[in-house]
Structure 1
Amino acid sequence: MSQTTDAYVEAAVRRFDEALNRARFQTVKCGDAPDDWEWIGTVGGNSEPATISLTNDFPFAAPRVVLPQRVDEIDWHQMPDGSLCLWNAHSLGSQPWLDGDGLLARIEEWIAHAEAGWVDDMPQLDLEAYNNLWLEVRDGQWFTPILAIDDWEQIAGGWFRTTPPDENGLLTVTSAQLSEPATPAPPRNKKKRRAGLSTQNRPNKFLNGIAIDLGKVTKPFIFTEQLAEEAGANGPLIVAMLEARRPVLFAARYTRDEAVGFIGFWFESTKDGITRRCFPVAERRYAQQRRAGWHAATLSDRKVSVIGAGSIGSHLADLLHRSGVNDLTIHDFDVLFPGNLTRHAASPAFVGASKTTAVRETANLRTPEHPIKTSTSVRGLNEAVQLLRDQDLVVDCTGDRLTWQLLLAAAEVTGRSFLHVAVIGHGQVGRVDICPPLEGADPVAESVVQPLAATEWEAGCGDPVSPTPPTAVAETAAMGARFAIRMLAGESVLPAGESRELFPVLP
């Protein structure tokens, strides 16, 4: 550390030391670095012994607090090393531990909750923290293997198979609801293993797993005996698989209060005996739905068409799909080129495909159960009229004035409005226009932008390359998606739309 940072940290440690000394904690260790410091004292009405020490991240990390009389107990908000978890992640920003009296009060509060059995505790679903989470180091970074499942019903109540961990540590379910695997042959004898016939070091082509339900958990540590009990009649088969040096996975569902959580365990036979590793089990479908926003339930049965799968249309369609629009059609005829990727929402894996296919397949990688529909561009007044009548909302993202005029005519025939979303002046202004405006309102005033001479050209029909910044595309698409979501949900919006300056001064 520099002298300036040294002085800052040293002052924080000194103030913390003085506060604990005033509370009759004794300084038993001290030094130049924060992790050289340690204090002992008592807390609570029963004068329970406590040890407080620092890490080198202090004052930007909480002190380590241990209650020696409880260090061997298994309890909520107490890590496997015996240290107490006194604050959740949302309360760390104010550094509450810097108030010595507040720290001691928090420890006493922890003791009171523990004595009461954590009856009012939040149902935090973080059992991995208590069960020695499996951590690996790759390229200097810590990571943990993760089992990804679509939902619990995919694997519930039976055997399943997964891939081995990939380069990111991901285990993917390849088949589920299987009958029990065949009992493997016992390991070969030592002479044959010496002769090179052992399969111990061969990589596994797949992994066998079993899904079990632990029910309501009352303590955060899951004992191996609990897993064996829930495995029931599968116990002998699991033992045989381990003896044959085949890893076995357990994917476990549990509840805490009314909340549902998942946890995984990897068992494997090694030269040192049976090893047990804990890893997260991540459910995809419901986890994504919980993050889709509070409009998602309302949007799930709405029918929307996005015309134009270019930069604006791809991002807007992606946002609507993420937000819960399950019946979504995107219209275009163009092909995705490498240069489009700077401003487009699609994955580079789909270069060469139609833009509609690229948007659909990119979304399918995330949410395959509700695929986006694709169609060609809207051609002719009859098609436009039918589209406005059939869909709950049509959004024009083409930036093409002929398409806009076509939809204006269809709106006049049907008496229905559509959204027109565009970036104006190569990123100077983002606009969302309701066409025609609701409630007879006047249209949004025409955007005044500075002219920009074309300087870059590529193959095509006379169009220069637009220097529109990707941020202008993303912000305008988000504006359009917000209007679409609120209109689909029946909420009030600005009746004519919105115009927003993005990059009004060009270089």
Structure 2
Amino acid sequence: MTSVGFDEYVAYARQHFEEGLIRAGFSEVEAGWEGPVPHSAGPTRVVIDLPPRFPFRPPRVAPVDHDAVPWSWHRDPDGGLCLVAEDDHDGLWWTEAPAFLEHVTAWFEHADTGWMGDRPDLDLDRYFQPSVDRRLYLYDDLDQYLNRSVRFSPSSNNTMRIKHGTRPRKAFERGKDRFGYVADLGEVDVPPRTWADISARIDSNADLDRRIRQQSVAIIVLIYRRGTHEGAIVLDVAPAKDGGTVVTCLRSGADTGAARSARAGALAPELRESRVAVVGAGALGSFIADMLVRCGVRHLTLIDDDVVMPGNLVRHLVGPDAVGLPKAEAVKQHLVRHNEALAGGISTINRALTSGADAVDHLRNHDLVVNATADFATTALLHVSARSLGTRVLSAALQNDGRNYRIDVLPPLEGAAPLPPSTTRADTEAPPLFEAGCGSPISPTPPHAVIEAAAATVRHAIGLLVDRPLHPAGETRHLHSSPEGSHQ
């Protein structure tokens, strides 16, 4: 689409929407388009304004009489109606005036009934102007600080971290710390928008007002609840010239175990106590280990006898600082560095798996063993050992220079047939590349194939760990062919 075509599309969308408003009884006024919105409690007159980015942003709707509509979580700080959630932008549905007006009517119907069954969004931050201080304020479990004084101290990456402590008496001891107080707003049905709204809700507000005027408190941390969900907001407070209090919102975030695991997936709690061994901490095994940890696994054994070489880095999880370390140790250091909770949960074995006794020991002491060695002898050893114990191994390998991968459940579940043997294709695209000290050519498997194969392996691993396997025998996939070319 040319720039002219784009402008024509935008102009048509705007004209089409405005014509729909006219048919619905709206008329153009200085602030936008004014007209009635019918609902069970009687019509409410609103003004609809089309933003400059329309149709790529929804219209703004505000009551003509702001106080005629109850304040709630579904109104913006300026009184406008919150009509479109951040996760409801599919299809630009608001470009059709009739559909949009139906949505506005539904908003008023929900407001008339008190927003029954409301989604508990924890977005109190948007009801306050942002502070000029753009540092990130981090807090841990706030219950330990409730109704107590705290300090925020500078940390890495332009962050401030919460600590216990009151403001020192001597000015030179204050340094770069900022001092504050933690209070509880309780259940919040209508979001506060001013310091007066906040002060009316919390205990010891008179003392806080005094301390804010004396500038011994510059930050207020508020805990609040909506239904079963708990949120927090960090506010910058300062005395105003008229005797009031200026309140702005600081950028903040929880640094807790719950916050770190909230995005790990719905199965993370089930995986927390799972014990997994990853045999082979090379490129594929390193990413498998990393994704298992990110998904919630907290007990991991890494097994590998090799060290990290400079040439490994392009496909491996670890970086240049790991060159020379045993691969298992290097992966452990990386995982612990990015998640302190794992420090006591990862063990390493810096030797190859070669004995049946060791294989049986790992199978007995882990809920799952994942073989990422791509070594036939190791795969066969684990397969025979698993079969003798009545358990199974998940074996993953990239093949044909990254053109395909296969993931085998060994032995297959429920008496299913194993996956058919893979075919080996000659690489005619480029001559083989050899590296000193290595008796076989360097595999040109690209990094994206490693990550794709690792992700698929982890999906199968999780399925086995929670007793919901993806497939009784595993999966093969041809990465350079259509999806129809895959086999499960």
Q: TM-score range by the shorter chain?
A: 0.7 to 0.9
Kept after mapping to 1: 8 A contact 2:151/2:166: no
Answer yes or no: is 1:483 the counterpart of 2:460: yes
**Paired residue for 1:193?**
none
State the Cα distance separating 1:454 from its structure 2 match: 5.4
Q: Give, in whole Å, the separation in 2 of the partners of 1:349 and 1:74.
A: 55
Listed one character per residue, the Cα deviations across residues 458-478 of structure 1 (whole Å, up to 9, x for unaligned) are 443334332111221112112
State the Cα distance separating 1:291 from its structure 2 match: 2.6
Q: Following superposition of structure 1 onto structure 2, how do residues 437-448 of structure 1 map, counting pairs within 5 Å? A: 437-448=412-423
**Paired residue for 1:401?**
376
**Paired residue for 1:86?**
83
Change (3 A) 1:269 1:459: farther
Q: Give, in whole Å, the separation in 1 of the partners of 2:229 and 2:5.
A: 47
Answer yes or no: is 1:320 the counterpart of 2:292: yes
Kept after mapping to 2: 8 A contact 1:429/1:447: no
Alignment-mate amino acid for residue 104 of structure 2 = I
**Paired residue for 1:130?**
127
SS of residue paired to 1:90:
coil
**Paired residue for 1:373?**
346
Kept after mapping to 2: 8 A contact 1:449/1:504: no
Kept after mapping to 2: 8 A contact 1:249/1:265: yes
Change (3 A) 1:150 1:180: closer
State the Cα distance separating 1:247 from its structure 2 match: 6.6
Change (3 A) 1:301 1:221: same
Answer yes or no: is 1:43 the counterpart of 2:37: yes
Q: Following superposition of structure 1 onto structure 2, how do residues 376-387 of structure 1 map, counting pairs within 5 Å? A: 376-377=350-351, 378-387=353-362
Q: Following superposition of structure 1 onto structure 2, how do residues 96-495 of structure 1 map, counting pairs within 5 Å? A: 96-134=93-131, 145-153=135-143, 155-164=145-154, 167=157, 170-173=159-162, 175=163, 178-183=164-169, 204-225=175-196, 243=214, 248-268=218-238, 275-283=246-254, 284-346=256-318, 350-371=322-343, 372-375=345-348, 376-377=350-351, 378-452=353-427, 455-495=432-472
Kept after mapping to 1: 8 A contact 2:151/2:165: no
Could you tell me the TM-score, scaled by structure 1's length? 0.82
Q: Give, in whole Å, the separation in 1 of the partners of 2:394 and 2:234.
A: 47
SS of residue paired to 1:95:
helix
Change (3 A) 1:108 1:301: same
Unaligned runs of 5+ in 1: 30-36, 137-143, 186-198
Q: Give, in whole Å, the separation in 1 of the partners of 2:154 and 2:212.
A: 16
**Paired residue for 1:502?**
479
Change (3 A) 1:226 1:360: farther
206-215 or 305-314, which deviates more: 206-215
Alignment-mate amino acid for residue 182 of structure 1 = P
SS of residue paired to 1:57:
coil
Alignment-mate amino acid for residue 368 of structure 1 = E
Alignment-mate amino acid for residue 93 of structure 2 = P
Could you tell me the TM-score, scaled by structure 2's length? 0.85
**Paired residue for 1:191?**
none
Kept after mapping to 1: 8 A contact 2:302/2:328: yes
**Paired residue for 2:485?**
none
State the Cα distance separating 1:422 from its structure 2 match: 0.7
Change (3 A) 1:349 1:112: farther
**Paired residue for 1:55?**
51
Listed one character per residue, the Cα deviations across residues 283-315 of structure 1 (whole Å, up to 9, x for unaligned) are 342234333223223222221101111111111
**Paired residue for 2:486?**
none
**Paired residue for 1:12?**
13
Q: Give, in whole Å, the separation in 2 of the partners of 1:481 and 1:225.
A: 52
Q: Give, in whole Å, the separation in 2 of the partners of 1:38 and 1:234.
A: 42
Q: Give, in whole Å, the separation in 2 of the partners of 1:87 and 1:285.
A: 31
State the Cα distance separating 1:430 from its structure 2 match: 0.6
Identity %: 34
Q: Give, in whole Å, the separation in 1 of the partners of 2:150 and 2:431.
A: 58
Q: Give, in whole Å, the separation in 2 of the partners of 1:334 and 1:290.
A: 35
Kept after mapping to 2: 8 A contact 1:254/1:261: yes
State the Cα distance separating 1:278 from its structure 2 match: 0.9
State the Cα distance separating 1:59 from its structure 2 match: 0.8
Answer yes or no: is 1:76 the counterpart of 2:73: yes
Q: Give, in whole Å, the separation in 1 of the partners of 2:90 and 2:342.
A: 39
State the Cα distance separating 1:43 from its structure 2 match: 2.5
Q: Give, in whole Å, the separation in 2 of the partners of 1:221 and 1:342.
A: 51
State the Cα distance separating 1:154 from its structure 2 match: 5.9
State the Cα distance separating 1:158 from its structure 2 match: 3.5
Alignment-mate amino acid for residue 205 of structure 1 = K
Q: Give, in whole Å, the separation in 1 of the partners of 2:132 and 2:34.
A: 32
Change (3 A) 1:406 1:207: farther
Kept after mapping to 2: 8 A contact 1:250/1:264: yes
State the Cα distance separating 1:254 from its structure 2 match: 0.8
State the Cα distance separating 1:109 from its structure 2 match: 2.6
Kept after mapping to 2: 8 A contact 1:251/1:281: no
SS of residue paired to 2:74:
coil
Alignment-mate amino acid for residue 38 of structure 2 = G
Alignment-mate amino acid for residue 5 of structure 2 = T
Answer yes or no: is 1:67 the counterpart of 2:39: no
